Amino acid sequence: MKKRLLIGVVLTDCHVDFQEEVLKGIISQAFKSNCDIAVITTFHNFCYETPNRSMEARIFDLILSDRFAGFLCMKNTFRDDNIKQQLDELFLRAGKPVMLLDSDEHKNFESTAIDDRSAIEKITDHLIDVHGFNKIYCLTGPKNNFVSEERLAGFKNSMKNHGLYYDKSCCIYGDFWKDAARALAERIISGSLSRPEAIVCGNDFSAIALAEALASGGIRVPEDIAVTGYDASEEGKQFSPVITSYHRPYFQLGAEGFRRLYRIITGKITGRVHNKARGLRHGCSCGCKVQLTGEKTPRREVVNAALERDILYRDMLFDVTSAETPRELADSIDNYTYYIYKANRIFVCLTDSFMKLGSNSDRKLDFLPIENMHMILAKSAVKRLPGCEAPFPASSLLPDYDADRRYPVAYYLTPLSFKENFFGYTAVSFGKVPMSFNRIFRYWTNYINVTLEQMRIKSILNNTLSTTNRAMLHDAQTGLLNRAGVKKAYADQLGYMRGRGSTVNFIRIQLTGLNDAVYLNDEEKCIRIMRNFIAVLRELLRSDEIFGYWTAYTFAVITPFPDRCGEIFGGLQEALPKTAFEENESCNIDFTVGLHTQPVDSENPPSAALHKAAVNRVYSYTVSETAGNPQYEKLCILRGKLMKNPELPWNISEIAGRLYLSKSYLQKIYKTYFGKSIIEEMIFFRIEKAKELLDSTEMTVTEIARECGYSSYNYFVRQFKSAEGIAPSEYRRR
């Protein structure tokens, strides 16, 4: 059977009413056109700095999958310019047609938008013609945002057409959220802005926040000031007074956006799906006398209300977090998939890195689209499905997209992550029903995230720490306090530091020179250099200063004494050139020093303070020619990844794309810096891993070949003999 076109949809906040309407339009039109849908989305909108921010965004790397024929994207749903830029770069690299929804013209992509101008004009006309208001303000979204400017233009058109005066003070830019509305209310209450008769808001959320803030200051809505919204959300309908709003045609936006993209991809025109258009929704917030009819609450809302109470107060969190292995986790999750209302298919997929935690428990779990995924749970609405026993590449998204089906499907792909670690992703489909998940799915997923993080921590404890208290608080290689030890020492000495002064200095020293390829070739040499650097640094520190090994090649010094950062750097700068512990070897290497000073009673923990110290780099010591070369540093990072995971199906074209280099140039500069090509390095690292497994495990040669990334046993044996001069079995016997 010929594969269907797979269209990617990229947006966030899928559980919000208007976004779901857009998705209903997209999915309905896609099903009518016999196309599959993959909605790549996150739970985080990236408007605030949170620990999960960076790793959740890694799910967007799936955009680079060759399975996609094109993309629909609502960039305006993202409230962070960095994420928008990241999406633009990914779309350009993917090289597929892109249709931006609710957006102005873009130099690289097609776009389509709703006529917000005439809709806001109708709302303003209603305030003027029906209620006789003359002094009206407009609260729109961010300045220079296409949707914001269109809504503001509709307000201005209505005021001009009625011959009413307005100026810049009447046009207030905001954030399409609550903060700007509260700030506007505060200005009106304080008298710094004259009181209007009515305010037209850019959406219902702003209108609700404005009405609440005005009421807290003694200004009644609508008796003193009329307020209207936009989007006709359910929240506005449930608010008292009911918000007068406008039913924005989101369904048509999604459907028409899909039709235009489909025509660009195929050159064909597909038929439209039908949806009844609606207009102005009358409420009480403008002064209209609206008789509430007591509409019956939809069954979905009744069921979801009961399920939300159940998931918050029942035993799912305790049952799921008691799982010790991915298999146990899958069995536990299986009992709680009923929380996802109307779910037709549910898949939980974990990265190969997570599944191999036993041997790599101390490393950061990143996400590579070339990485293999393991499906630990495959569930239909009523029963467990046969899982995908064999790993599948993340670039294929889901095995179900390649299956022979008589009907198209739509899946929501959401990340599984916790702080700096990416575990995998979930996929949920609602079958033939064009709907989205709600916030219960967010709780459900977060419980899984907590469990996976627990498994990762337990793996670290079981594999890298002994049972003694010293091992728990000290680094095995250096003998210094580890991260946990530094935190405990800081808590223990806080009283002493309080007596020494009012501030504490957090100094972060990073050995950037140990990232150089010359040291990556020899781990023992790297350890020797680091230990000698520690010896030099110890001589410069006072006995009552906290000194520990914070992260890889990074040290933390916490001291209550002022000016110590400059003293320590000066001492290292003077002492390091004189060190020599073996012939032609010295610990005179590149390093940087960062500093953060905070009050001794600050609530910032050491981790937050040392993170700020990393950002605030105050000194840099350089001895190597390649130091400070971003390109060289990226290649060193790449080489480190090749060394740690030689078994992965590394592809030079994809690597070049991620580094924004041409394939030929990448190969040229890689060999210039390291003396070997990428392929030669990968073979070398694979053979080294094979030798380690032959030495330390009872695995068969066939199993070792597979573990080292070889699909052919004979090819592995040939490469091993070429590198070592003997067969793997002979190497093991010797």
Q: How confident is the model at residue 465 (pLDDT cuts 50, 70, 90)?
A: very low
DSSP one-letter string for 342-363: T--EEEEEEEHHHHTTTTSTTS
- In this predicted structure, the answer to whether residue 361 has a pLDDT above a threshold of 60 is no
Q: What pLDDT does residue 192 have?
A: 94
User: Which residues form the domain of 682?
Assistant: 631-733
- In this predicted structure, the answer to whether residue 16 has a pLDDT above a threshold of 70 is yes
Q: Of the spans 56-60, 209-213, 681-685, 712-716, which averages the highest pLDDT?
A: 209-213
227 shares a domain with 207: yes
Parallel/antiparallel/unpaired status of strands 136-139 and 198-201: parallel
Higher per-residue pLDDT: 134 or 14: 134
531 shares a domain with 388: no
Which residues have CB under 8 Å from 192's CB, separation 6+? none
Q: How confident is the model at residue 426 (pLDDT cuts 50, 70, 90)?
A: very high
Question: Among candidates 572, 597, 588, which has minimal Cα distance to 504?
Answer: 597
Q: What pLDDT does residue 341 have?
A: 85
Tell me which of 592, 607, 625 is where a domain ends: 625
CATH number for the domain including 43? Answer: 3.40.50.2300
pTM, two decimals, is: 0.57
Phi, psi angles (nearest 5°) of residue 311: -70, -25
**C-alpha torsion angle, residues 153, 156, 162, 168 (rounded to 10):** 180
CA–CA distances in Å: residue 500 to residues 379, 496, 526, 562, 586: 61, 7, 37, 10, 37
131 shares a domain with 30: no
| pLDDT (average), residues 133-146 | 92
Helices (H), 552-603: 564-575
Q: What pLDDT does residue 134 have?
A: 94
Parallel/antiparallel/unpaired status of strands 110-112 and 98-101: parallel
In the numeric block, which tokens belong to residue 542? 């006072």
- In this predicted structure, the answer to whether residue 464 has a pLDDT above a threshold of 60 is no
Of the given ranges (80-89, 286-295, 390-399), which has the lowest mean pLDDT? 286-295
Q: How confident is the model at residue 495 (pLDDT cuts 50, 70, 90)?
A: confident
DSSP one-letter string for 86-136: HHHHHHHHHT--EEEES----SSSEEE---HHHHHHHHHHHHHHTT---SE
What strands, in cross-sheet order, belong to the sheet with 554-559?
Answer: 546-551, 554-559, 503-510, 591-599, 617-621
The pLDDT tens digits for 523-557 are: 677 788 888 899 899 989 988 899 999 888 899 99
CATH number for the domain including 479? Answer: 3.30.70.270
| pLDDT (average), residues 232-244 | 90
Tell me which of 412, 438, 463 is where a domain ends: 463
Question: Among candidates 316, 263, 349, which has minimal Cα distance to 29?
Answer: 263
Residue 525: count of CB within 10 angstroms of its CB: 15
Q: What pLDDT does residue 583 have?
A: 55
Is 263 within 8 Å of 95 (Cβ atoms)?
no
314 shares a domain with 449: yes
183 belongs to a structural domain: yes
| pLDDT (average), residues 658-669 | 84
CA–CA distances in Å: residue 438 to residues 20, 138, 308: 9, 31, 10
CATH number for the domain including 639? Answer: 1.10.10.60
Tell me which of 579, 598, 625 is where a domain ends: 625
The pLDDT tens digits for 246-280 are: 988 889 899 999 999 999 999 999 888 887 667 89
Higher per-residue pLDDT: 278 or 653: 653
Radius of gyration, CA atoms only, the chain: 30
- In this predicted structure, the answer to whether residue 559 has a pLDDT above a threshold of 90 is yes
Higher per-residue pLDDT: 290 or 347: 347
446 shares a domain with 314: yes
591 belongs to a structural domain: yes
- In this predicted structure, the answer to whether residue 184 has a pLDDT above a threshold of 70 is yes
CATH number for the domain including 452? Answer: 3.30.450.40
Higher per-residue pLDDT: 442 or 660: 442
619 belongs to a structural domain: yes
Q: How confident is the model at residue 243 (pLDDT cuts 50, 70, 90)?
A: very high
Using CA atoms, how far apart are residues 413 and 424, in angstroms rounded to an integer?
10
720 shares a domain with 638: yes
Angle between helices 663-674 and 630-644 (to 10 degrees): 80
Of the given ranges (233-247, 459-473, 568-582, 593-607), which has the lowest mean pLDDT? 459-473
258 belongs to a structural domain: yes
Question: Among candidates 227, 225, 316, 232, which has minimal Cα distance to 281?
Answer: 232
Q: What average pLDDT does the chain have?
A: 85
Place of tokens 């997923």: 445
Helix-strand-coil split of the chain, %, nearest 5: 45, 15, 35
- In this predicted structure, the answer to whether residue 627 has a pLDDT above a threshold of 90 is no
455 shares a domain with 313: yes
297 belongs to a structural domain: no
Residue 559: count of CB within 10 angstroms of its CB: 23
Question: Among candidates 225, 215, 209, which has minimal Cα distance to 174?
Answer: 209
> Number of folded domains in the chain?
5
264 belongs to a structural domain: yes
474 shares a domain with 621: yes
258 shares a domain with 110: yes
Q: What pLDDT does residue 468 have?
A: 47
Question: Among candidates 370, 412, 292, which has minimal Cα distance to 42?
Answer: 412
121 shares a domain with 109: no
- In this predicted structure, the answer to whether residue 584 has a pLDDT above a threshold of 60 is no
Q: How confident is the model at residue 212 (pLDDT cuts 50, 70, 90)?
A: very high
| pLDDT (average), residues 95-118 | 87
Q: What pLDDT does residue 476 have?
A: 80
Using CA atoms, how far apart are residues 119 and 121, in angstroms rounded to an integer?
5
Phi, psi angles (nearest 5°) of residue 314: -95, -155
182 shares a domain with 130: yes
54 belongs to a structural domain: yes
295 belongs to a structural domain: no
- In this predicted structure, the answer to whether residue 296 has a pLDDT above a threshold of 70 is no
400 shares a domain with 275: no
Provide the b/e sequence for 561-586 (b: ≥16 CB within 10 Å). beebbeebbeebeeebeebeeeeeeb
Q: What pLDDT does residue 518 have?
A: 46
| pLDDT (average), residues 237-254 | 90
